[in-house]
């Protein structure tokens, strides 16, 4: 699997995880309907399934995925929460994404 395909899969995975966690947050903290738990469960199920599609051992997948999750959470912060991330937020996300890329490239090396 190429770095681009892996990153795209990680982006879909991050969206599924964030939605799966955000909907219960709306129920618990914002007075949303308990019915929000149904699509939340579906989102988290999709999240787990998407993580299982990677060819690397699970610990490597989880570690590399973290970089994409950090960047995705900042996009969510901006788009959904309406809060502009700081330049240091983006710098941190860039460092996390660089770490993800290094790890994923190492999958092909067998390291």
Tell me the Cα Rg of the chain: 15
Domain residue extents for the chain:
3-109
pLDDT 10s digits, 45-57: 999 999 999 888 8
Dihedral (C-alpha) 80, 68, 19, 17: value to the nearest 10 degrees?
-160
Interhelix angle 87-109/3-30, rounded to 10 degrees, is 130
Backbone φ, ψ for residue 12 (5° rounding): -65, -40
pLDDT 10s digits, 58-96: 888 999 999 999 999 999 999 999 999 999 999 999 999
């Amino acid at each position: 699997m190429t770095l681009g395909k892996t990153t795209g899969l990680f982006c879909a995975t991050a969206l599924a995880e964030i939605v799966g966690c955000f909907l219960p947050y709306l129920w618990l903290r914002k007075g949303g309907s308990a019915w929000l738990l149904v699509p939340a469960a579906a989102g988290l199920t999709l999240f787990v399934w998407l993580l299982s599609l990677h060819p690397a051992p699970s610990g490597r997948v989880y570690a590399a995925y973290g970089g994409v999750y950090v960047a995705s959470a900042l996009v969510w912060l901006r788009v959904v929460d309406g809060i502009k991330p700081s330049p240091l937020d983006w710098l941190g996300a860039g460092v996390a994404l660089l770490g993800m890329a290094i790890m994923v490239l190492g999958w092909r090396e067998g390291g």
